[in-house]
Amino acid sequence: MIPLLQASQFPGRHSVLEPAGAQAALIKDGLWDPMFVTASVTFALVVAALLWALLRRRVGGETLEDPARQRRLGLTVSLATAVTTIVLFVFLVVDSTVGRATTATPGHSALQIRVTGHQWWWEVQYRDSLAQHWVTTANEIHIPVGRPVVVELRSTDVIHSFWPPNLSAKRDLIPGHENSLWLEADSSGEYRGQCAEYCGHQHAKMAFLVVAEPSDSFAGWLAGQRDTAATPADSLTRRGQEVFLGSACPMCHAVAGTPAGSRVGPDLTHLGSRRTLAAGTLPNTRGNLAGWIVNPQAIKPGAKMPPNALSPDDLQALLAYLETLR
Amino acid sequence: MTSMLEATDRDRSGRTAASEAEVVMALEQTWRPEPGLWGWLRSVDHKSVATRYLVTAFVFFLLAGLEAATMRLQLARPENRLLGPDAYNQFFTMHGTTMMFLFAVPVMQAAGLYLVPLMIGARNVAFPKLNAYGYWVYLFGGVFLYLMFFLNTGPDAGWFSYVPLAGPEYSPGKRVDVWAQAITFTEIAALTASVELIVTIFKMRAPGMTLNRMPLFVWAMLVQSFMVLFAMPWVATASQFLAMDRLVATHFFNQAEGGDPLLWQHLFWFFGHPEVYIIFIPALGFVSSIVTTFTRRPVFGYPAMVLSLVGTAFLGFGLWVHHMFATGLPQLGESFFTAASMMIAIPSGVQIFCWIATIWEGRPRFGVPFLWAIGFVVVFIIGGFTGVMIASVPFDQQVHDTYFIVAHFHYVLIGGAVFPLFGAFHYWFPKVTGRMLSERLGRWQFWLFFVGVNLTFFPMHQLGFEGMPRRVYTYLPETGWGSLNLLATVGAVIMAVSVVLFLVNLARSLRAPHLAGDNPWGGETLEWATTSPPRPYNFPLVPVVDGRMPLWQHPDGLPALAGLRTDVRDVLMTTVLDAEPDSRHRHPPPTIWPFCAAIATTITFITLIFTPWGLVIGFPFLLVAFIGWAWPRGQDHQEQRRVEAEAAVEVAG
Amino acid sequence: MTAFRPVGTVANLPNTVFGHRSAMWWGTLAFIVIEGSTLFICAVSYFYVAQRFPTWPPEHVLRPAWTAASIQAALMLLSNIPMVMVDRAALRLDLATVRAGMLVISLLAVVMCGVRVLEFGALGVRWDSTAYGSVAWATLVTHTTLLLLETVESLVFTLLLYSPNLEQRDLSGSSDNALYWYFMTGVWIPLAAMVFLSPYLL
């Protein structure tokens, strides 16, 4: 089952140092860069002072008890302390400026997305005044470039933490608390994020993808996601739908337009359009999907999805059906 | 002080008639350790108890190190299959729990329990029975935790046990209960040790050792003990709340019934942040001792050093929330914690500047302990800088819970505690055992460790920036984290080699003869005035102190007071501020009751994991043990009555 | 070994000292800090939980009855009268008064334990019904462990006072015991106000 992982090009970048949005850029340019320079210089100075003190040539007749000498030394120590304090104070001012900028609330045009953390996947919901326009997907967040996005963060089980480093800092999803953060992508691209709060067995494999795209293609994507699932067009996919509905799948998964409506696991209505499987663990290919369905425990030990013993024919039909869910 | 001496001078002729040889012979008899296992179980000597603490803590250090090494091997390449998630989660939980609760705090307190009485010229700690009890509780707690770990019931919710993950719903079974109760064991031990140290330092300092003349290490232990006193009850109480949520369905942390997962985080970090300084402050004391001896200069700026220790302790309680910057607390509150977290860099800076000034003034000798002290400065300040960085809320929200943080606190804790500890070990080893460690092996160990630490942890900063979160048992090849992780693993192997060299050094030295002498390094504090290893009564007479460097001030012999009885375990109590002789106190002979009390405590705590009736079951055991502990012995009594008759006259007068 | 040069003697220092001159007094104070912190943490948790509820006590939960708590508070305050007497008598080495006082104290301690049972009943809420019940019970249970400890200690100490092995320094112990008693009874007053009155006030 494991050759699945030889997947070719994995989508998504993730790095604090390559900001792709205002929030992350403020932190990198406004905080990290100056801090790094200051710390490096200070480190060099302290180590130099230490080495000098250690290795300096001792003059024979130094009188250590000389009060003038003690005073000079005291003055040097006080001066170093004063400089430390001033540097820290400047840093405090810089920090609160950046802090203000990153937390300033975006305008009304912000897009609202609700992300709910589950052990070990992300539920993503685009809400709308019309309930039938709500879009529910999983592990993949599409956002329009150049428009602020408010991400409402919720959890119903344990604490998770939402972190797409190129776009924004992280924020925890805490049961009983309503958190949110906002971010804005400067340029289109795929940005990887991962759960940053230890949340149990598969904390390691709880990633997501943020797909930033121009606003018209985003609008197109959103409209597509509002549709119910495609009706099976041929006998193979019809057979696949029967397998899907007749097996354990609907106990946890929903496919809009079919009787399957459970919200325990990810919504599969548009599974075929997603880039990854199992919360950013595998590229979404037919082989990977087959491996995941048959034995998820080999890929994510401890995950909530049970193994499914399907006959080869049933499996092929099911895969064909799932691939139609675009 | 002088008036006291004049007053007592009068009866010197009669009272101090006994020759020194006679005094020593009587003391040897009175303070003689008992032989055999039974005697070992009954010992209340601070040196044997502290040595056990040290050895036990070191064993836990090795175990936690093995866990870390295994985790590094697992992470050496992506999708490695050495450890599955279940094992890995237990490993990192055990690594953190062991290092924090079973190694770092106990080892520092053990060093204090060994050295403080010697440094202040006392015969023992203030409450010898309590001291022994604390050790047994610590030992039983640690052994219990590891037994459960070997039975695959090791805790797996992290050393911080965040709820709801650690709560009844998401961690069924007994793993988290084992954690919560192991914490209780170690907290009891830590609290008893802190009470022990505070009262010993307050009441048992050598005559003349005013607060202003205390060695910096003693100051460090005093400050640390106060921090323990105020910090440990938080985690002890919180872990009991957690245990109750799990055992009797209370709702402290259950948001559905009005509890709050964040309450746990507040309670935990109110302890958890001071914890770092609890580990770090004694290490500062080690460094001051080593720097003084190896530069042959008193540390520059004694008052500034003391104030820095106290200031660090105060600030240390004001920044717990910086562990919670990602939880979305109100911004105003966060700025306060940012400021506090940055300001704590100032006292640390002052100390580093003062040490550099001392070195500048002194004539350094590059002995192995001094190498560790220098290594400490270099490694620790890197952790200090990243510490100031993550005081910034926005920056912290980027790197929080990533490998950047792993790098940061390993620089702080290894640089700030393990480096000084190895230095201290090398420095005081001759005092404790009478034998020297090899300098050559020590140098190899130091350089390997220095390289290993930097190779392991420096790349982790970058891994954090590249998005690698903490506490992941594996990662995908496509993340590109593989090569830096491999580098870190290579560093860990080098660290392991260094620790093996240390063990070799230890084993070789322990088979060598006693050759160290009383004061091999030319130290200035009182512990170097006695034999190596010290006799059970520490000093034949009570040393009198008139400055901060008694041995350098009195190279020809220390002034001392006679008159403590030699036929019973008499110790001297002095006044809190000025250390004026005040009273004599009888210390207990060896006793089995602390051991029994620890057994009773263990029975109670372990049954409490399974049923709330554990309290009722344990109560009779505790009752018997503590009555046995407190009840006066008949055989002391005859003899005591005679002394009392004498003393009553004085009290009345 | 470094030579020690005798310059005086401590032979005529007293063996038995009271109050802050005694190490045990400082040890007791340190344990008071520990227990005090634990109770403080209970109080912090109590108010933390309280601000998460729109009403206090939560809806559908009865307010605690305060009769038992009032009796307890009065007992605790009054018990300090015999305790002060014991404390002073110990200083005078007046064994008879110490014995009599400790008998009264032991009796009072046992009565207090009885009243404590009523106090648990008076809470009118179970520990597992809401977080309110949990914090109220936790506060009471924590203080009860101190009360039990003091009860046992008083009983054992009273027994000891009649033992032939009694030593003078044990009387010094009685003043350390008194210190702990002042704390245990004194700290109950604000805690009782918190648990039994704040549901009427918040």
pLDDT recorded at residue B607: 96
The residue whose two tokens read 């090009």 is A9
pLDDT by residue (tens digit) across A70-86?
899 999 999 999 999 99
Q: Which two tokens stand for residue A112?
A: 């609202």
Q: How far is C121 from chain B (nearest CA, A)?
A: 17
Tell whether the model's pLDDT for residue A148 goes beyond 90.
Answer: yes
Q: What DSSP element (H or E) covers B7?
A: helix B2-9
With a CB-CB cutoff of 8 Å, which residues 360-419 of chain B face chain A? 360-361, 363-364, 374, 377-378, 381-382, 385-386, 388-389, 391-395, 397-402
Q: How far apart are CA B1 and CA B580, in angstroms?
A: 6
User: What is the SS3 assignment for A283?
Assistant: strand
ipTM: 0.95
For residue A276, give the 3-state DSSP assignment. Answer: strand
Per DSSP, the three-state class of B481 is coil
**Neighbour count for residue A310 (Cβ, 10 Å):** 17
Give B580 to chain A, closest Cα distance, Å: 30
Tell me what pLDDT residue B650 has. 54
- Tell me how crowded residue A103 is: count the other CB atoms within 10 A of its CB: 14
> CA-to-CA distance for B628 and A66, rounded, in angstroms?
61
pLDDT 10s digits, C38-88: 999 999 999 999 999 999 899 889 999 989 999 999 999 999 999 999 999
Q: A95-104, A175-184, C165-174 — which is least confidently predicted? A: C165-174
pLDDT value at residue B330: 76
Dump pLDDT digits (tens) for B341-368: 899 999 999 999 999 999 998 989 999 9
Task: Give the bridge partners for A160, in sequence order.
Answer: A173
pLDDT digit string, tens, across residues A205-257: 999 999 999 999 999 999 999 999 988 989 999 999 999 999 999 999 999 99
**CA-based nearest distance B153→chain A, Å:** 15
Q: For residue B166, is pLDDT > 90? A: yes
Q: What is the rounded average pLDDT of the residues A317-326?
A: 94
Nearest Cα neighbor of B127 from C149, C20, C23, C176 is C23
Nearest to A18, CA basis, from A182, A164, A204: A164
Q: C160 vs B191: CB contact, 8 Å cut-off?
A: no
**B379 pLDDT exceeds 80?**
yes
What backbone torsions phi and psi does residue A153 show, to the nearest 5 degrees?
-110, 125
Sequence-distant (≥ 6) Cβ neighbours of residue B165 within 8 angstroms: A158, A159, A198, A199, A200, B157, B158, B171
Residue given tokens 């926005």 in the structure block: B394
Element (H, E) at B460: helix B439-465
- The pLDDT of residue B2: 38
Pairing label, strands B558-562, B542-543: antiparallel
Cβ-based neighbours of C77, under 8 Å, separated by 6 or more: C185, C189
**How far apart, in whole angstroms, are the C-alpha atoms of residue B358 and residue B292?**
8
Predicted model pTM: 0.94
How far apart are alpha carbons C195 and C187 in whole angstroms? 13
> How far apart, in whole angstroms, are the C-alpha atoms of residue C26 and residue B130?
14
Does the pLDDT at position A90 exceed 50? Answer: yes
Measured distance CA(A291)–CA(B387) in Å, rounded: 44
- End-to-end CA gap in chain C: 68
Residue B625 has pLDDT above 80, yes or no: yes
Contact indicator for B453, B414 with CB cutoff of 8 Å: yes
DSSP C22-40: SHHHHHHHHHHHHHHHHHH
Q: DSSP labels for A115-165?
A: EEEETTEEEEEE--SSGGG-EEEESEEEEETTS-EEEEEEESSS-EEE--T
Beta strand spans in B21-82 (E): none
pLDDT averaged over every residue in chain B: 92
Residue A181 phi/psi, 5-degree rounding, is -145, 165
Residue B451 has pLDDT above 80, yes or no: yes
In contact, B75 and B95? CB cutoff 8 Å:
no
Q: What is the 3-state secondary structure (H, E, C) of B259-303?
A: CCHHHHHHHHHHHHHHHHHHHHHHHHHHHHHHHHHHHCCCCCCHH
Average pLDDT over residues A102-122: 89
Q: Which residue, among C126, C82, C77, C84, has the nearest Cα to C104 in the 3D structure?
A: C82
Nearest CA in chain C to B631: C160
- Among A67-76, A209-218, B210-219, B536-545, the range scoring the smallest mean pLDDT is A67-76
B549 close to C (CB below 8 A): no
Q: Is A173 on the interface with B (CB under 8 A)?
A: no
Instruction: Output the pLDDT for position C163.
Output: 81
- Cα-Cα end-to-end distance for chain A: 25
The helix (run of H) or strand (run of E) holding residue B595 is helix B593-610
Q: Which pLDDT belongs to residue A63?
A: 59
Nearest to B327 among A5, A77, A174 (CB): A174
Contact call for residues A94 and B388 (beta carbons, < 8 A): no
**Short-list C38, C49, C28, CA closest to C140:** C38
pLDDT computed for residue C142 by the predictor:
96
- pLDDT (0 to 100) of residue B636: 52
A202: pLDDT strictly greater than 80 = yes
**pLDDT the model gives residue A60:** 67
Looking at residue A197, its pLDDT comes to 97
Instruction: Give the separation between CA A139 and CA A218, rounded to whole angstroms.
Output: 16
* Count, residues in chain B: 653
CA neighbor of B69 nearest in space, from B429, B490, B460: B490
- Using 50, 70 and 90 to split pLDDT, how confident is the model at A7? very low
Q: Which of B78, B70, B68, B64 is nearest to B468 (CA)?
A: B78
CB contact under 8 A, B630 and C156: yes
| Residue B84: burial class (beta carbons within 10 Å; 0-12, 13-18, 19+) | middle
Is pLDDT of B5 > 70?
no
Radius of gyration of chain B measured on its C-alpha atoms: 25
pLDDT for B10 equals 38
Per-residue pLDDT of B519-533, as tens digits, reads: 999 999 999 999 999
For residue A217 the two structure tokens come to 């293609």
**CA C170 → CA B626, C45, C98, C139, C163, distances in Å?**
16, 38, 11, 32, 11
Reported as a single tens digit per residue, the pLDDT across B187-211 is 999 999 999 999 999 999 999 999 9
Which residues of chain B neighbour A281 with C-beta distances below 8 Å? 476
> What pLDDT is attached to residue B644?
57
- Name the residue in chain C with its Cα closest to that of B246: C128
pLDDT value, residue B159:
95
Nearest to A2 by CA among B91, B472, B78: B78
Q: Which residue has the higher pLDDT, B587 or B334?
A: B587
Residue B293: C-alpha distances to residues B298, B418, B534, B546, B551 (Å):
8, 20, 20, 19, 11
Q: What are the chain C neighbours of B573 within 8 Å (beta carbons)?
A: 17, 21-23
Contacts of A119 in chain B (CB under 8 A): 170
Question: Exposure pattern of B197-219 as b/e (b: 16+ CB <10 Å)?
Answer: bbbbbbbbbbbbbbbebbbbbbb
pLDDT (tens digit per residue) in B79-112: 999 999 999 999 999 999 999 999 999 999 999 9
Residue spans of beta strands (DSSP E) within chain A = 111-118, 121-126, 135-138, 140-144, 149-155, 160-162, 171-173, 179-183, 189-194, 207-213, 276-277, 282-283
pLDDT in tens, B308-331: 999 999 999 998 998 999 998 876
Question: DSSP H helical segments within A164-311, as ranges?
Answer: 215-226, 235-246, 286-294, 296-299
**Beta-carbon count within 10 A of C160 CB:** 19
B333: which residues sit within 8 A by CB, 6+ positions away?
B321
Q: What is the pLDDT of residue A6?
A: 36
Residue % of chain B over a pLDDT of 70? 94
A275 touching chain B per CB within 8 A = no
Res A84: pLDDT:
95
Residues 156-185 of B with CB under 8 A from A: 157-158, 162, 164-165, 170
Q: Do B11 and C45 touch (CB under 8 A)?
A: no
The verdict on A103 touching B (C-beta cutoff 8 Å) is: yes
Query: pLDDT tier at B11 (50, 70, 90 boundaries)?
Result: very low
Is the pLDDT at A8 greater than 60? The verdict is: no
List of residues 6+ apart from C177 with CB closer than 8 A: C28, C153, C154, C157
Q: Which of A305-309, B43-47, B511-515, C107-111 has the lowest mean pLDDT?
A: B511-515
Tell me the three state secondary structure of residue B584.
strand
- For C4, the enclosing helix (H) or strand (E) is strand C4-9
pLDDT attached to residue B12: 40
